[in-house]
Chain A
Amino acid sequence: AQSVTQLDSHVSVSEGTPVLLRCNYSSSYSPSLFWYVQHPNKGLQLLLKYTSAATLVKGINGFEAEFKKSETSFHLTKPSAHMSDAAEYFCVVSSDSNYQLIWGAGTKLIIKP
């Protein structure tokens, strides 16, 4: 069965410094992996997705994630944090059998001025 673990419930960084949000997954097959962002009072927005093409995936707003099969990881990074990046971030894996989305618990990103 598939599962997703987001290793940090909260991450706090200063504006202008790098962001790292960690995600590990388990999957029997080659998974599809996603990162979604949820701003307060707004809908979920897809940041990026991995579907067995390039292992380094570039998303919107300067975010990118690297699929590492040997480490079963799909960490999200951004070189320089902006105040507008403050939000909840979810790592998601697509089920092998029925394409349902399996959600991580979320990581709240806090940006300090």
Chain B
Amino acid sequence: GAVVSQHPSWVICKSGTSVKIECRSLDFQATTMFWYRQFPKQSLMLMATSNEGSKATYEQGVEKDKFLINHASLTLSTLTVTSAHPEDSSFYICSAEWDREYNEQFFGPGTRLTVL
């Protein structure tokens, strides 16, 4: 099956620093990748949608200057949380799809970010 990896699986950083999270599709080329945020005991919230080689589309209320998304290749997307603060602590999940008409996303295992 289609496998999506995320790195790191967890990260602890100091307030004010930046953190980069990688999302890779291991055995398929992802035309579109998605970044979600999940708060404790809550559902997933879509942050942004990215297509390879173009700018990401951010959902309303998500700061594009704070959450930088780069989709440099068909197998790699990165999310950089800039100048992180404790309120950015969360579980970040990426997903990837290879064909929009197929209408199925494959999810990474998630990254737990804790900002001290």
Q: Which residues of A contact B (CB under 8 A)?
A: 32, 34, 36, 42-46, 49, 51, 90, 94, 99-101, 103-106
Tell whether, in the assembled complex, residue B103 and residue A32 are in contact, meaning their CB atoms are under 8 Å apart. yes
Residue contact B44 to A103, C-beta cutoff 8 Å: yes
Known: A43-B4, A99-B103, A100-B34. 5 other contacts (CB 8 A): A32-B103, A43-B110, A49-B103, A103-B43, A105-B43
- Assuming the contacts A49-B104, A51-B103, A94-B103, asked whether A44 and B93 have C-beta atoms less than 8 A apart, the reply is yes
Are A90's CB and B43's CB within 8 A? yes
Enumerate chain B residues within 8 angstroms of A99, measured Cβ to Cβ: 100, 103
A85–chain B nearest beta-carbon distance, Å? 19
* A9 → chain B closest CB, angstroms: 9
Residue contacts A-B, CB under 8 angstroms, 26 given: A32-B103, A34-B104, A43-B4, A43-B93, A43-B108, A43-B109, A43-B110, A44-B95, A45-B107, A46-B104, A46-B106, A49-B103, A49-B104, A90-B43, A90-B44, A99-B100, A99-B103, A100-B49, A101-B34, A101-B44, A101-B46, A101-B105, A104-B43, A105-B42, A105-B43, A106-B41
Number of residues of chain B lying within 8 A (CB) of chain A: 19
A81 to B93, CA, bound (A): 28
Residues B107 and A44 in contact, CB atoms below 8 Å apart: yes
CA distance A49 to B97 in the complex (A): 15
Inside 8 A of B109's CB, which chain A residues have their CB? Answer: 42-43
Complex contacts, B41 vs chain A, CB 8 Å: 106
Closest to A102 in B: B46
Per-residue contact bits, chain B 82-116, to A (CB 8 Å; 1 contact, 0 not): 00000000000101000010011111111000000
Q: What's the minimum C-beta distance from B4 to chain A, rounded to whole angstroms?
A: 8
Q: Which of A34, A45, A99 has the most CB of B within 10 A?
A: A99
Q: What is the bound-complex CA distance between A98 and B41, given in angstroms? A: 27
Q: Which 9 residue pairs are nearest across A and B when measured between Cβ atoms?
A: A43-B109, A44-B107, A103-B43, A43-B107, A103-B44, A105-B43, A106-B43, A32-B103, A99-B100
Contacts of A101 in B (CB 8 A): 34, 44, 46, 105
